[in-house]
Amino acid sequence: ATGTPNVQGNSPILVAYFSRSGNTRVIAGVVHRSLKTDLFEIEPATPYPKDYFQTVEQAKNERSRGTKPTLKNRVADIERYETVYLGFPIWGTSVPPVVQTFLSNHNLAGKLLIPFITHGGYGKGDSEDILANLAPAARREKPLVLECDQERRTTETVTSWLDTIRS
């Protein structure tokens, strides 16, 4: 992580989010615009594959090996935020590894942490326990948990549609 200042805005509230297929990004945008917060996108230094199934494979490997991808960027001045909204999708019934890196790399002690979590129908998994472990000294608000579209279902539907066109 470079520490490059790449946060938009100058508010005491930060929205930090990770999103692959856009569901969590929509919520981050609504919070950002409604509360006029700063905005930070959590990104791995090496992007995940474009292909959904390759990403699932990589995420599974990271989880089983306990690897946590490094961040493309850190929030330059996390100290100045009093409140951090943290958005992420559920991956493998948990917090995506890159979001766990974000939590390990930023000290949220004493801050109010407000999670917003999207999932594809199987719920928030163990994500609240992971947040408690990785940000033990933050005050934590009850998260917004929202079921959203699954990229898997969309990908499979479009793939079968293409098959019917080809045949």
Ligand X SMILES: Cc1cc2nc3c(=O)[nH]c(=O)nc-3n(C[C@H](O)[C@H](O)[C@H](O)COP(=O)(O)O)c2cc1C
Q: Any contact of residue 32 with ligand X (CB under 6 A)?
A: no
Q: Any contact of residue 91 with ligand X (CB under 6 A)?
A: yes
Q: Any contact of residue 100 with ligand X (CB under 6 A)?
A: no
User: What gap in Å lies between CA 80 and CA 50, rounded to an integer?
Assistant: 35
Q: Any contact of residue 90 with ligand X (CB under 6 A)?
A: yes
Q: Any contact of residue 12 with ligand X (CB under 6 A)?
A: no
Residue 88: which H helix or E strand, with range?
strand 83-89
DSSP bridge pairs for 15: 39, 85
User: What gap in Å lies between CA 116 and CA 158, rounded to an integer?
Assistant: 28
User: What gap in Å lies between CA 120 and CA 138, rounded to an integer?
Assistant: 27
Quick check: helix, strand or coil at residue 10? coil
- For ligand X, the binding residue among 59, 71, 86, 95 (CB under 6 A) is 59
Stretch in the footprint of ligand X (CB under 6 A) among 32-40, 97-105, 148-156, 157-165:
148-156
Q: Any contact of residue 120 with ligand X (CB under 6 A)?
A: yes
Stretch in the footprint of ligand X (CB under 6 A) among 31-39, 68-76, 88-96, 106-114:
88-96
Per-residue CA distances from 73 to 23, 105, 136, 162 (Å): 21, 10, 23, 38
Kindly state the smallest distance separating residue 16's Cβ from ligand X, in Å: 13
Kindly state the smallest distance separating residue 54's Cβ from ligand X, in Å: 10
Kindly state the smallest distance separating residue 7's Cβ from ligand X, in Å: 19
Residue 13: which H helix or E strand, with range?
strand 13-17
Kindly state the smallest distance separating residue 69's Cβ from ligand X, in Å: 13
Kindly state the smallest distance separating residue 110's Cβ from ligand X, in Å: 28
Q: Any contact of residue 21 with ligand X (CB under 6 A)?
A: yes
122, exposed or middle or buried, with CB in 10 Å at 0-12, 13-18, 19+? exposed
What is the contact surface with ligand X in residues (CB under 6 A)?
A: 19-25, 55-56, 59, 89-93, 118-122, 148-151
